[in-house]
Amino acid sequence: MIEGNLSINLSGFNLSTGDFKISDKKITIIYGDSGCGKSTFLNCLAGIENNYNGSISFKKPLVIGYVLQKNSLFPHLNVRENLFYAFKRCKNPRYTVDDISKSLSIVELLDKEIDSLSGGQTQRVSIARSILSSPDILLLDEPLSALHSQAKDEILNLIKSINKKYSIPILMVTHSVKEMISLCDNVIYMKKGSLLKQISRESALLEIDSNGPINCISGESLNKLGLKLHLKEYENFVIHSSNIILILKSEDFHFPANSILCTFENISRFNNEFSILKLRYLEDNFLYAKVPNEVVENLSCTLGQEVVALFGTDSHII
Amino acid sequence: MLNSDSILLTLKVASITTVLLLLISTPLAWWVVNLNRKRRVLVEAFLSLPLILPPTVLGFYLLILLNPNGLIASTLKSLGHSGQLTFNFTGLVIGSVIYSLPFTVQPLINSFSKVPRKYLDSARLMGAGKLDQFFSIVLPLSKSGFILGGILSFAHTIGEFGVVMMIGGNIPKVTRVVSIDIFTHVEALEFEKAHQLSFIMLVFSLIILILVYSLSSSRKGERND
């Protein structure tokens, strides 16, 4: 567990976090817009930035692995030498260079020079090097920001598998909703210069977009619903609440592939024009629909009433 | 026939001076790079004094400082050394080291400053201590600074005149380096010998400058993100 409270002033930029606690088991995402102080926060945790007020405490002394936003592989060493750099300096090595190279599929890169690597390969090697320090926690600062979409997916899966396989807790900074949704167990949601409370993924989906909640349906749920969208178990179907159309279920209703049968749970006012309808599906899953107020009045829903949610074409799989 | 004594002496002084300068300047430059801004300005200004100070002024102060009855010489004498630091080879080397110091320190300071902080941060997080960071990251990434500093100090030592004249005088085979030899030949109206030596110096200087410029143009092409 990492706990603390810090405030920092760096050439006019203020960051004041309030009390924070970071779980030491799962993947925690620090989510926020660019320039809100996410990287500064990570630098403070790593001890790279230590000119701050307040304190950071660790339950026990931590070995921190940190993959910086900019490529920090040493250019005068090749891939193998970069990996050994970390391995040789690790006091209690838990992994060997061989194991990690195989596991992260970088064996064929070992003799390459750093400047000959692609963006995705660089990130793979950077992550491998960090793991070879046998860290108690791995910090990743926007590890996907410089990658094209295929490499992004590869690294996303790699990050998930590292957390699972090696049980290394991960703290990752991102400003991408997609990365947040596909990776996180917990979210630390930052607004410019301040650290907001740590929230669950479900709460994060409700809060992070000022235009309304974001729905995330797992591949597993979709399979249970019998929707043939060809999703893998770990993939997610993401739908913004404003892209859901509600239809009252009738006897002769034919379900298209892009629909889910839900029951009406409750309603809350979003603003003067819209309300958010909370709908239940598959027993304990919820879907949120952003609906104009006048439509809500016409729907005249009652608790437990069956409603069909149709989702729009710009929903996407991640 | 050209007397090669002065050439050999000059090369010997320059070689020893360059080796000494690289040894002294490496920790000195690293210390300067890690100073805070105000102190760094002061120290860099002080270290650069030999660049603009007339060599005779530098030579004069060194002569005072190293005179056989001075503090340094007396201390050496009490340690069993002869205490003779002027008008001999030792004096020549001491004078050259101080005179050429900025030509080694400055390229090293520039090179060390250019090593991106992210590499040092990463190394530290992997458990590398300060000294380890210096030897494993800073030194190998500053190769061109060492080459440049070495070449410049070697060349600069070869061309010195004023300091050598003040602290070493003009003793054949002991302190008479090429530049002083040329001066001596001119004074004696031996223009042919002066020509020969001057031409060698001219070619040598040109080669050094070509080396320096080709090195700095290849440095500009280096990827250093």
Residue B176 falls inside a structural domain: yes
pLDDT > 70? residue A234: no
Is B224 among the domain residues?
no
Q: Kindly calculate the radius of gyration of chain B based on its CA atoms and give it in whole angstroms.
A: 20
Q: What is the pLDDT of residues A136-185, one digit of tens each?
A: 899 999 998 878 878 888 888 889 888 888 888 899 998 888 788 878 77
Structural domains present in chain A: 2-207 (3.40.50.300), 214-315 (2.40.50.100)
Please tell me which residue of chain B has the smallest CA distance to A127.
Answer: B122
Length of chain B: 225
Answer whether B126 sits within 8 Å of A129, measured CB to CB: yes
Q: What is the DSSP letter of A109?
A: G
Q: What average pLDDT does the segment B103-129 reach?
A: 94
d(CA B94, CA B157): 11
Q: Does B121 touch chain A (CB under 8 A)?
A: yes
Total Cβ atoms within 10 A of residue A215? 25
- Residue A9 bridge partners (DSSP): A14
Q: Using the beta-carbon criterion (under 8 Å), do A72 and B121 form an inter-chain contact?
A: yes
Tell me phi and psi for residue A275, to 5 degrees: -125, 160
The confidence band for B224, taking pLDDT boundaries of 50, 70 and 90, is very low
Give residue A255's pLDDT: 74
Closest partner CB to A86 (pick from B118, B126, B132): B126
Residues A245-300 pLDDT 10s = 888 777 777 777 778 888 888 888 888 899 999 999 888 888 899 988 888 887 77
pLDDT tens digits for range B173-191: 888 899 999 999 999 999 9
A-chain residues within 8 Å CB-CB of B36?
Answer: none
Q: Is there a domain that residue B222 lies in?
A: no
Q: Which amino acid is at A272?
A: N
Domain extent, residue B195, equals 5-217
Instruction: Give domain status of residue B31, yes or no.
Output: yes
Nearest alpha carbon to residue B104 among B190, B26, B40, B163: B26
Residue B133's closest chain A neighbor by CA?
A85
pLDDT by residue (tens digit) across A67-101? 988 889 999 999 999 999 999 999 999 999 999 99
Q: How many structural domains comprise chain B?
A: 1
CB A18 within 8 A of CB A194: yes
Contacts of B127 in chain A (CB under 8 A): 63, 89-91, 133
**Disruptive mutation site among B126, B134, B135, B139 for chain A (greatest number of A CBs within 10 Å):** B126
Closest CA to B62 of B166, B170, B169, B174: B166
Q: Is residue B68 part of a domain?
A: yes
Q: Is there a domain that residue B146 lies in? A: yes
Range A208-235 average pLDDT = 75
Question: Is ipTM > 0.90 here?
Answer: no
**Domain-located, residue B143:** yes
Q: Average pLDDT, stretch A195-208?
A: 77
Q: Does B118 touch chain A (CB under 8 A)?
A: yes
CATH number, domain at B51? 1.10.3720.10
The minimal CB distance from A89 to the residues B118, B128, B225 is found for B128
Question: How far does Cα A117 stand from its chain's mean position?
Answer: 26
CA distances from B62 to A229, B18, B164 (A): 86, 19, 11
* A52 burial via Cβ count (<10 Å: 0-12, 13-18, 19+): buried
Q: Residue B129: pLDDT band by 50, 70, 90 thresholds?
A: very high
The shortest C-alpha distance from B122 to chain A (Å) reads 7
Long-range (24+ apart) CB contacts under 8 A made by A92-98 are A92/A134, A93/A132, A93/A134, A94/A134, A94/A166, A95/A131, A95/A132, A95/A134, A95/A166, A97/A132
Rounded to whole angstroms, how far apart are CA atoms A291 and A240? 12
